[in-house]
Amino acid sequence: MRGKIFKRDSADNITQVLMISQDITERRKNEHEVLELKDQIARKAEEQLKQSESLLASVFKALPIGLGFLIHQVRLFY
């Protein structure tokens, strides 16, 4: 809520004030929904990562030979 002195009398006393308020209920609700969706996505991604890791681990265990991966990270600087 914001207020602005709109009018004063000759003794400099406030006689009128203009107050403005805005209902932000819908905005807060939408922000909350966005945060919930982000949490759901993060949980789903974590679950899928665990499943992928589990599948990969079972493949490694089932192989009769040794197998490994070498991952190189490439970083570009602009």
pLDDT tens per residue across span 13-40? 888 888 888 899 999 999 999 999 999 9
The identity of residue 38, as a single letter, is K
Residue 42 lies in a domain: yes
Domain count, the chain: 1
Q: What's the confidence (pLDDT) of residue 78?
A: 46
Say which range, 1-5, 15-19, 26-30, 41-45, has the weakest mean pLDDT.
Answer: 1-5
In this predicted model, what pLDDT tens digit does every residue of 61-73 receive, in sequence order?
A: 887 776 666 666 6
Range of the domain at 34: 25-62
DSSP secondary structure string for all residues of 6-36: EEE-TTS-EEEEEEE----HHHHHHHHHHHH
Question: Would you place residue 76 in the very low, low, confident or very high pLDDT band (cuts 50, 70, 90)?
Answer: low
The predicted model scores a pTM of 0.53
Residue 77 lies in a domain: no
